[in-house]
């Protein structure tokens, strides 16, 4: 049975934890879907893991749509969410509607994700959800603001904790169906999770969220370095290098 945003809301109520991983192409997406992951995020981290950029900023809406189309071809069950990339939604609600509308019209993704919880973003989320576009929020460390925030843990003072709690509540009130919490303390993530009726999906936010997300390249050990909170389950990078070395040796001898 295909997974819907309504299903995620029901799972929050029942306490059924949600699994989410990122994908950037058909092969990875079909493996994740076959393994039974609930939500596949075409994250703008594809800028780093698939396109070789050092930040997520250069990736374009056309890049995201192209990769989301490939991911959707590999998915039968999971809910597919596509990240709106930097400057494809921050300018104004009409710009966000056009970008999110393109994602829904040109791919089979069922939802978009956008970063931030300041008042202008809350208005954007409200406008998108009013016209039937499901939105996943993203608070805490938001990589599109890397030059302002760096890559450090967020919500580390009582003031910033309160700000993040209020932003999470505002996202829910604006109609978001879930919110990613990235690189915040376990206790802050736990407080936000308890206050919301929509699921929280944590990454580096402890075990009290309603679900967890990881960048699949980090999970598989495909990247040279991983963020401190990403537990690698495999070192595929070294396995691939060893395999290719064996192939080279076979061919040369
Ligand atoms: O782009 C991405 O992969 C993300 C996850 C880190 C949540 O936004």
Q: Distance between CA atoms of 32 and 36, rounded to whole angstroms?
A: 6
DSSP state of 234: -
pTM over 0.85: yes
113 Cα: distance to centroid of ligand 1 (angstroms): 9
Instruction: Decide whether any atom of ligand 1 lies within 6 Å of the 39 Cβ.
Output: no
Nearest to 112 by CA among 10, 187, 43, 172: 43
Rounded alpha-carbon distances, angstroms, from residue 253 to 63, 244, 249:
41, 14, 6
Structural domains of the chain, with CATH: 5-252 (3.20.20.60)
45 Cα: distance to centroid of ligand 1 (angstroms): 6
Longest pairwise C-alpha distance within the chain: 65
Q: Relative to the CA of 115, which ligand 1 atom is closest?
A: 8
79 contact partners, CB below 8 Å, separation of at least 6: 2, 3, 4, 5, 7, 8, 38, 39, 40, 110, 111
Residue whose tokens read 């994700």? 113
56 Cα: distance to centroid of ligand 1 (angstroms): 10
In this structure, which residue's CA is closest to atom 2 in ligand 1?
Answer: 43
Per-residue model confidence as pLDDT tens for the chain (253 residues): 799 999 999 999 999 999 999 999 999 999 999 999 999 999 999 999 999 999 999 999 999 999 999 999 999 999 999 999 999 999 999 999 999 999 999 999 999 999 999 999 999 999 999 999 999 999 999 999 999 999 999 999 999 999 999 999 999 999 999 999 999 999 999 999 999 999 999 999 999 999 999 999 999 999 888 888 888 799 999 999 999 999 999 999 9
Contact indicator for 42, 83 with CB cutoff of 8 Å: yes
């Amino acid at each position: 049975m295909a997974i819907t945003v309504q299903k995620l809301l029901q799972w929050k109520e029942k306490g059924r934890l949600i699994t989410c991983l990122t994908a950037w192409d058909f092969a990875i997406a079909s493996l994740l879907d076959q393994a039974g992951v609930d939500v596949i995020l075409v994250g703008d981290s594809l800028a780093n893991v698939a396109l070789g950029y050092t930040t997520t900023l250069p990736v374009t809406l056309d890049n995201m749509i192209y990769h989301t189309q490939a991911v959707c071809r590999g998915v039968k069950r999971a809910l597919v969410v596509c990240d709106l990339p930097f400057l494809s939604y921050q300018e104004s609600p009409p710009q966000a509607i056009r970008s999110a509308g393109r994602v829904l019209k040109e791919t089979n993704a069922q939802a978009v994700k956008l970063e931030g919880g300041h008042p202008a973003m809350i208005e954007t989320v409200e406008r998108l959800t009013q016209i039937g576009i499901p939105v996943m929020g993203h608070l805490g460390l938001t990589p599109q603001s890397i030059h302002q925030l760096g890559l450090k843990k967020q919500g580390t003072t009582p003031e910033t904790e309160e700000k993040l709690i209020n932003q999470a509540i505002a996202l829910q009130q604006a109609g978001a169906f879930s919110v990613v919490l990235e690189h915040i303390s376990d206790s802050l993530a736990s407080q936000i999770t308890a206050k919301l009726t929509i699921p929280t999906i944590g990454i580096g936010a402890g075990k009290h969220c309603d679900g967890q997300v990881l960048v699949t390249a980090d999970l598989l050990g495909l990247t040279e370095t991983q963020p401190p909170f990403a537990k690698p389950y495999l070192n595929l990078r070294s396995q691939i290098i060893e395999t290719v070395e064996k192939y080279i040796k076979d061919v040369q001898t």
